[in-house]
Chain A
């Protein structure tokens, strides 16, 4: 008996869209690898205080006598500096994991806010149409005609440094992508019968928009959001490298690279090199996942 019910559960699971989704995702080895790497990075960033050899921002734990140690050199305080140490004797591996925490945190927050704001604006434009739609879309076109880096620089020049300000800048340059994406799919979905049915039932506008229209517009949004996390990380790193991003007390990967830049010319490459590798791995891993998601969720590529 129990084995039969076990089988039915398995069968039900195999017919569920989730099963198909994971199955198709697994078809690309590279995408699975990307996902795994990304999860490892996420977990190490989340648990940074417990897994790093030292707290890189607790000055009492730094050993200034061991500053500028090259990678793999022995340490009297923490065993060994796998990736070397910086000008203040800070273990680079610990600094990178803490930096990753900052970079991923800023990127995830900004992406989530931009997704929420952009989606709300885009779906309203599509649902109400007419003048609202054309004004919003003009704004989106205008926003997207300026490069993100320029708009973010301008905003930070006006607002000043700070983690919250970087998030504001990232949201400002990214909401328009979501608005445009969701409007495109909402325009199609709006004409479907189930929306008409909901309207005939005299459901309220918010209920139709958020309970019926929105869930059906999600797939392309997920793809855009995944790719935009990678873009956010890169943009934040660039802004911090230029010195207008996060403050020096809470360095992200970009700021670590900026710090190492000064020592690179004297051959002490590791201070800038390894944070950059971490940045690159994070960006490529997310892009691999995003590319595979796009292939799965794009109905035009359905076999």
Chain B
């Protein structure tokens, strides 16, 4: 009996676990084997007796492979060490910052979709007009502008010159379900606007290109001609037939890009002093808080692999050709 679906799932899960394992090896080697881990983990002015006790306690006298197994075992239980700065488990330090990052990432995603798709469809319907061309020129600018400089210019324009929006920080937050959230008050929301737009601009340019390419392809199809021949209004053709057909690539790419948004949040959060995971990573690098760096790394890799896995599986549900060809390979 052949079960291509199951074969596909097992294969993808196997690949995902392998990637996480490989990254764990790299992170372990990078942080614990390059350079002397004792220098990193123990204060250099500690007395020798204390240093030896610490070495034994941290298991640094054991062979490397054994240390790795211990690291892996603890990591599987969600223990990636304690932060030097906060003296708390590194994972919980990061998780406490996560809602802030997810909040601007979500708003950025919404901006990318609600500005990007209409602009892209418009540019696709009228590629030769001034409107279409300027939309495309704008999307090229969105690709070339370095993210951090674009953020600085936003601050210069909206905070320094016009004084409309706050230049940085998170503003007031409210606690809901144990998470600190800022979008419920106007004051908090106004702090989110610029960081989210900064994060969204690149994705928006991407969505514009995808939507434009998709629209140009779709309007040549027979079913659009047929819809026109039936006498449907342009509005209905665009809203129903065109939109539905360009959504598949847009949604797939955006799903994949969700992870890179969290990576790019590092830049945005630094520019706008937004207290999220990305700013935490930069602060930890500057303060040599290695456990937090390791934990951030492992969490991000995990998140990435998870997102890739989900998108692949979803895609194979939508498009059966993908899983059939993969399960044969």
Where the two chains meet, the residues of A that have a C-beta atom closer than 8 Å to any C-beta of B are 142, 145-147, 149-150, 153-154, 156-158, 230, 234, 237-238, 241-244, 254, 257, 261, 264-265, 267, 269, 272-273, 276, 279-280, 283-284, 287
Give, as a whole number of angstroms, the nearest-CB distance from A180 to chain B: 17
**Chain A contact residues, majority secondary structure:** helix
Give, as a whole number of angstroms, the nearest-CB distance from A285 to chain B: 10
Give, as a whole number of angstroms, the nearest-CB distance from A139 to chain B: 10
Question: Which of A147, A234, A283 meets B263, CB within 8 Å?
Answer: A147
**Chain B contact residues, majority secondary structure:** helix
Interface residues on B, range: 35 or more
B152 CB-CB contact with A under 8 Å: yes
Question: Which of B146, B156, B282 meets A283, CB within 8 Å?
Answer: B146
Asked, given contacts A147-B260, A242-B282, A272-B152, whether A264 binds B146 with beta carbons under 8 Å apart, the answer is no
Asked whether B300 lies within 8 Å of A264 as measured between CB atoms, the reply is: no
Question: Which of B145, B153, B159, B286 meets A243, CB within 8 Å?
Answer: B286
Asked whether B153 lies within 8 Å of A158 as measured between CB atoms, the reply is: no
Segment at the A interface, from B89-97, B126-134, B264-272: B264-272
Q: List 17 A-B contacts (CB under 8 A).
A: A146-B304, A149-B263, A150-B266, A156-B285, A158-B34, A234-B146, A237-B149, A238-B146, A242-B270, A242-B282, A243-B282, A261-B152, A264-B156, A269-B156, A276-B149, A279-B146, A287-B140
- How distant is the Cα of A265 from the Cα of B168 in the complex, in angstroms? 10
- For the complex of A and B, the 8 pairs showing the least CB-CB separation, nearest first, are A150-B263, A147-B260, A276-B149, A147-B263, A158-B30, A234-B146, A157-B285, A241-B148
B160 CB-CB contact with A under 8 Å: yes
B9 CB-CB contact with A under 8 Å: no
Asked whether A257 lies within 8 Å of B259 as measured between CB atoms, the reply is: no
B28-61 contacts to A, CB under 8 A, are 30-31, 34
Give, as a whole number of angstroms, the nearest-CB distance from B301 to chain A: 8
Give, as a whole number of angstroms, the nearest-CB distance from B101 to chain A: 13
Which chain B residues border A142 with CB–CB below 8 Å? 19, 22
Asked whether B282 lies within 8 Å of A287 as measured between CB atoms, the reply is: no
Which chain B residues border A153 with CB–CB below 8 Å? 266, 281, 285
Give, as a whole number of angstroms, the nearest-CB distance from B131 to chain A: 20
B213 CB-CB contact with A under 8 Å: no
Which chain A residues border B147 with CB–CB below 8 Å? 238
B259-298 contacts to A, CB under 8 A, are 259-260, 263-264, 266-267, 270-271, 281-282, 285-286, 293, 297
- How distant is the Cα of A244 from the Cα of B167 in the complex, in angstroms? 23
B155 CB-CB contact with A under 8 Å: yes
Question: Which of A157, A238, A264, A287 meets B148, CB within 8 Å?
Answer: A238
Asked whether A264 lies within 8 Å of B304 as measured between CB atoms, the reply is: no
B308 CB-CB contact with A under 8 Å: yes
- How distant is the Cα of A142 from the Cα of B259 in the complex, in angstroms? 14
B144 CB-CB contact with A under 8 Å: yes
Which chain A residues border B30 with CB–CB below 8 Å? 154, 158
- How distant is the Cα of A243 from the Cα of B32 in the complex, in angstroms? 23
Which chain A residues border B140 with CB–CB below 8 Å? 287
Question: Which of A157, A158, A280 meets B149, CB within 8 Å?
Answer: A280
Which chain A residues border B31 with CB–CB below 8 Å? 158
Give, as a whole number of angstroms, the nearest-CB distance from B158 to chain A: 12
Give, as a whole number of angstroms, the nearest-CB distance from A68 to chain B: 16
- How distant is the Cα of A257 from the Cα of B267 in the complex, in angstroms? 13
Asked, given contacts A158-B30, A264-B156, whether A257 binds B149 with beta carbons under 8 Å apart, the answer is yes
